[in-house]
Amino acid sequence: MGTVDPDRILSQMEQLPPLPEAVARFIDGDPSTTERDVARSLMAALSPEGPDTLGHGPWWGHALATAMGARRIAEETGRTEPREAFVAGLLHDVGHLVLVTLVPAAFRDVLGSQGHDVRFLALERQQCGLDHVRAGIQLIRRWQLPDPIAAAVAQHHVASFENEIPPVTTAAIVVADTWAQVLGCGYDFPIWRLSGRTEEAASSLNLLWGDQLRLLESLDREIVDLALEFGVPVSRPSIEAPGLGERAALWVSLHGSEPTPLGTLLLRHRGFRVIHIASTDSIQPREAELVLIDSPWAEPEEVVDLVDEIVPGRRASVALLSDPRPDQCMRRRDTESGICGIPRLFTAFDLRWVESCPVNS
Give me the mean pLDDT over the 248-275 stretch. Answer: 84
Which of 279 and 151 is assigned the larger pLDDT? 151
pLDDT band at 72 (very low <50, low <70, confident <90, very high): very high
Beta partners for residue 186, in sequence order: none
Here the contacts of 28-37 (C-beta below 8 Å, separation 24 or greater) are: 29/83, 35/67, 35/68, 35/71, 35/86, 36/226, 36/229
Under CATH, which number does the domain 6-229 receive? 1.10.3210.10
Q: What is the pLDDT of residues 73-117, one digit of tens each?
A: 999 999 999 999 999 999 999 999 998 888 888 888 887 776 544
pLDDT band at 241 (very low <50, low <70, confident <90, very high): very low
Sequence ranges of the chain with CATH classification 1.10.3210.10: 6-229
Cβ atoms < 10 Å from Cβ of 357: 15
Looking at residue 211, what is its pLDDT? 86
Radius of gyration of the chain (CA): 21
Which of 243 and 220 is assigned the larger pLDDT? 220
pLDDT band at 345 (very low <50, low <70, confident <90, very high): confident
Q: What is the pLDDT of residues 14-46, one digit of tens each?
A: 889 999 999 999 999 999 999 999 999 999 898
pLDDT band at 55 (very low <50, low <70, confident <90, very high): low
Looking at residue 38, what is its pLDDT? 96
Mean pLDDT of the chain: 82
The pTM (predicted TM-score) of the whole model is: 0.77
Please name the residues in contact with 78: beta carbons below 8 A apart, sequence gap of 6 or more.
none
Sequence ranges of the chain with CATH classification 3.40.50: 247-356
pLDDT band at 239 (very low <50, low <70, confident <90, very high): very low
Looking at residue 332, what is its pLDDT? 84
| Residue 288 in this model has a pLDDT that exceeds 90 | no
For residue 8, how many C-alpha atoms fall within 13 Å in the half-sphere facing its CB? 8
Percent of the chain with pLDDT strictly greater than 70: 84
pLDDT band at 141 (very low <50, low <70, confident <90, very high): very high
Which of 165 and 143 is assigned the larger pLDDT? 143
| Residue 308 in this model has a pLDDT that exceeds 70 | yes
Looking at residue 237, what is its pLDDT? 47
Cα 138–143–145 angle (5° rounding)?
A: 100
Give me the mean pLDDT over the 207-213 stretch. Answer: 83
Under CATH, which number does the domain 247-356 receive? 3.40.50
Of the candidates 266, 288, 262, which has an alpha carbon nearest to the alpha carbon of residue 275?
A: 288
Looking at residue 157, what is its pLDDT? 83
Please name the residues in contact with 218: beta carbons below 8 A apart, sequence gap of 6 or more.
none
Query: Quick one: residue 193, left, alpha or beta (phi over 0 = left, psi -120 to 50 = alpha)?
Result: left
Looking at residue 1, what is its pLDDT? 43
Helices (H) and strands (E) in the chain, counts: 16, 6
Which of 50 and 151 is assigned the larger pLDDT? 151
User: % helix / strand / coil in the chain, to the nearest 5?
Assistant: 50, 10, 40
